[in-house]
Protein backbone atom coordinates (compact mmCIF):
# COMPACT_ATOMS: atom_id res chain seq x y z
CA UNK A 1 0.00 0.00 0.00
CA UNK A 2 1.16 3.49 -0.83
CA UNK A 3 -0.33 6.42 1.04
CA UNK A 4 0.49 9.80 -0.43
CA UNK A 5 -1.20 11.82 2.25
CA UNK A 6 -3.34 11.21 5.32
CA UNK A 7 -4.93 14.09 7.22
CA UNK A 8 -6.85 13.72 10.47
CA UNK A 9 -7.87 17.19 11.56
CA UNK A 10 -10.79 19.39 12.53
CA UNK A 11 -12.21 22.40 10.75
CA UNK A 12 -14.47 25.10 12.09
CA UNK A 13 -18.06 24.85 10.92
CA UNK A 14 -21.05 27.07 11.46
CA UNK A 15 -23.80 25.40 13.46
CA UNK A 16 -27.11 26.27 15.08
CA UNK A 17 -27.96 25.33 18.68
CA UNK A 18 -30.74 26.55 20.97
CA UNK A 19 -31.78 25.33 24.42
CA UNK A 20 -34.99 26.35 26.12
CA UNK A 21 -38.16 25.25 27.83
CA UNK A 22 -41.59 24.53 26.35
CA UNK A 23 -45.01 24.26 27.92
CA UNK A 24 -46.02 20.66 27.19
CA UNK A 25 -48.57 18.11 28.41
CA UNK A 26 -45.99 15.53 29.49
CA UNK A 27 -48.52 12.93 30.67
CA UNK A 28 -50.27 12.91 27.28
CA UNK A 29 -47.00 12.43 25.37
CA UNK A 30 -45.62 9.81 27.77
CA UNK A 31 -48.87 7.83 27.40
CA UNK A 32 -48.65 8.16 23.61
CA UNK A 33 -45.04 6.94 23.66
CA UNK A 34 -46.03 3.93 25.78
CA UNK A 35 -48.67 3.06 23.14
CA UNK A 36 -46.29 3.67 20.23
CA UNK A 37 -43.59 1.47 21.75
CA UNK A 38 -46.12 -1.40 21.81
CA UNK A 39 -47.36 -0.84 18.23
CA UNK A 40 -46.38 -3.27 15.47
CA UNK A 41 -44.27 -0.65 13.67
CA UNK A 42 -42.18 0.33 16.73
CA UNK A 43 -38.42 0.72 16.40
CA UNK A 44 -37.53 -0.83 19.78
CA UNK A 45 -33.80 -1.67 19.90
CA UNK A 46 -33.47 -1.21 16.10
CA UNK A 47 -31.85 2.23 15.83
CA UNK A 48 -29.28 4.39 17.61
CA UNK A 49 -31.75 4.33 20.49
CA UNK A 50 -30.77 1.22 22.44
CA UNK A 51 -34.14 1.31 24.12
CA UNK A 52 -37.78 1.60 23.17
CA UNK A 53 -38.97 3.89 20.42
CA UNK A 54 -42.10 4.63 18.39
CA UNK A 55 -42.04 4.67 14.60
CA UNK A 56 -40.23 7.67 13.07
CA UNK A 57 -43.47 9.28 11.88
CA UNK A 58 -45.53 8.57 15.00
CA UNK A 59 -46.11 12.24 15.93
CA UNK A 60 -45.92 13.85 12.46
CA UNK A 61 -49.69 14.25 12.07
CA UNK A 62 -50.41 14.73 15.78
CA UNK A 63 -52.20 18.06 16.40
CA UNK A 64 -51.00 18.34 20.04
CA UNK A 65 -47.42 17.87 18.86
CA UNK A 66 -47.94 20.50 16.15
CA UNK A 67 -49.07 22.95 18.86
CA UNK A 68 -45.95 22.19 20.92
CA UNK A 69 -43.82 22.96 17.85
CA UNK A 70 -45.44 26.35 17.13
CA UNK A 71 -42.90 28.43 19.14
CA UNK A 72 -40.06 26.42 17.61
CA UNK A 73 -41.42 27.05 14.12
CA UNK A 74 -41.66 30.77 14.92
CA UNK A 75 -38.03 30.70 16.07
CA UNK A 76 -36.89 28.94 12.89
CA UNK A 77 -38.84 31.41 10.75
CA UNK A 78 -37.37 34.40 12.59
CA UNK A 79 -33.81 33.13 12.15
CA UNK A 80 -32.71 33.78 8.59
CA UNK A 81 -31.26 30.49 7.37
CA UNK A 82 -29.61 31.50 4.11
CA UNK A 83 -29.62 27.96 2.73
CA UNK A 84 -33.39 27.32 2.90
CA UNK A 85 -36.51 28.73 1.35
CA UNK A 86 -38.92 26.32 2.96
CA UNK A 87 -38.83 23.24 5.17
CA UNK A 88 -41.14 20.55 6.49
CA UNK A 89 -41.42 18.32 9.53
CA UNK A 90 -40.42 14.93 8.16
CA UNK A 91 -40.03 12.84 11.29
CA UNK A 92 -41.22 13.01 14.89
CA UNK A 93 -40.94 10.10 17.29
CA UNK A 94 -40.97 9.20 20.96
CA UNK A 95 -38.32 7.50 23.08
CA UNK A 96 -38.51 5.53 26.31
CA UNK A 97 -35.16 4.51 27.78
CA UNK A 98 -35.39 2.32 30.87
CA UNK A 99 -32.68 0.79 33.07
CA UNK A 100 -29.42 0.23 31.11
CA UNK A 101 -30.83 1.77 27.89
CA UNK A 102 -28.92 4.53 26.10
CA UNK A 103 -28.53 6.32 22.79
CA UNK A 104 -25.44 5.74 20.65
CA UNK A 105 -23.70 8.94 19.52
CA UNK A 106 -25.15 9.84 16.12
CA UNK A 107 -26.34 12.67 13.87
CA UNK A 108 -29.57 13.25 11.96
CA UNK A 109 -28.34 13.99 8.44
CA UNK A 110 -29.80 14.49 5.84
CA UNK A 111 -32.21 16.59 7.93
CA UNK A 112 -31.16 20.24 8.26
CA UNK A 113 -32.50 20.90 11.78
CA UNK A 114 -33.33 18.46 14.55
CA UNK A 115 -34.79 18.71 17.99
CA UNK A 116 -35.27 16.91 21.27
CA UNK A 117 -37.82 17.60 23.99
CA UNK A 118 -37.51 16.06 27.46
CA UNK A 119 -40.68 14.88 29.15
CA UNK A 120 -39.70 13.88 32.68
CA UNK A 121 -37.13 14.64 35.35
CA UNK A 122 -34.25 12.20 35.00
CA UNK A 123 -30.49 12.02 35.57
CA UNK A 124 -29.72 10.99 31.96
CA UNK A 125 -28.36 13.91 29.90
CA UNK A 126 -28.42 14.42 26.15
CA UNK A 127 -24.79 15.20 25.34
CA UNK A 128 -23.43 17.16 22.37
CA UNK A 129 -19.72 16.40 22.67
CA UNK A 130 -18.72 18.31 19.51
CA UNK A 131 -19.80 21.61 21.07
CA UNK A 132 -19.59 20.87 24.81
CA UNK A 133 -23.34 21.20 25.44
CA UNK A 134 -25.70 19.06 27.50
CA UNK A 135 -29.48 19.07 27.71
CA UNK A 136 -30.79 18.35 31.18
CA UNK A 137 -33.76 16.03 31.46
CA UNK A 138 -36.48 18.25 32.94
CA UNK A 139 -40.08 18.40 31.69
CA UNK A 140 -40.27 20.71 28.67
CA UNK A 141 -36.52 21.24 28.24
CA UNK A 142 -35.67 21.24 24.56
CA UNK A 143 -32.78 21.62 22.15
CA UNK A 144 -32.99 22.62 18.50
CA UNK A 145 -29.78 21.99 16.61
CA UNK A 146 -27.99 21.57 13.30
CA UNK A 147 -28.59 17.98 12.31
CA UNK A 148 -24.92 17.21 11.70
CA UNK A 149 -24.10 17.63 15.42
CA UNK A 150 -23.33 14.31 17.06
CA UNK A 151 -25.29 13.60 20.22
CA UNK A 152 -26.31 10.73 22.48
CA UNK A 153 -26.43 9.69 26.10
CA UNK A 154 -24.89 7.25 28.52
CA UNK A 155 -26.69 4.23 29.95
CA UNK A 156 -29.68 4.84 32.17
CA UNK A 157 -28.59 3.90 35.69
CA UNK A 158 -31.93 4.87 37.29
CA UNK A 159 -34.80 2.51 37.97
CA UNK A 160 -37.22 4.82 36.19
CA UNK A 161 -37.51 5.36 32.44
CA UNK A 162 -36.57 8.56 30.63
CA UNK A 163 -39.10 9.84 28.10
CA UNK A 164 -38.43 12.20 25.23
CA UNK A 165 -39.53 13.39 21.82
CA UNK A 166 -37.26 13.85 18.82
CA UNK A 167 -37.93 15.41 15.44
CA UNK A 168 -36.32 16.34 12.14
CA UNK A 169 -36.96 19.16 9.69
CA UNK A 170 -36.03 18.67 6.04
CA UNK A 171 -35.66 21.05 3.13
CA UNK A 172 -38.90 21.15 1.20
CA UNK A 173 -38.49 19.93 -2.36
3 compared with 106, residue with greater pLDDT:
106
Q: Mind listing the pLDDT tens digit for each residue in 68-126?
A: 999 999 999 888 776 677 899 999 999 999 999 999 999 999 999 999 999 999 999 99
Q: Mind listing the pLDDT tens digit for each residue in 16-45?
A: 999 999 999 999 999 999 999 999 999 999
Question: DSSP assignment of the chain, as one string?
Answer: ---S------------EEEEE----HHHHHHHHHHHHHSTT--TTSSSEESEE--TTTTTT-HHHHHHHHHHHHHHHHS--TT-S-EEEEEEEEEEE-TT-EEEEE--TT-SEEEEEE-S-EEEEEEETTTTEEEEE-TTEEEEEETTS-EEEPPP-SSSPEEEEEEEEEE--
pLDDT at 157 over 70: yes
Mean pLDDT value across residues 135-139: 97
Amino acid sequence: MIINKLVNSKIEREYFFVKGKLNIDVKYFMDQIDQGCMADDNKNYQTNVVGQMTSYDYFVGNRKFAKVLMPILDLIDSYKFKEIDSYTLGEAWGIRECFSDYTVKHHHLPAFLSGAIMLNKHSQLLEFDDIGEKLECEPGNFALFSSFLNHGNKRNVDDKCRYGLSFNFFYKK
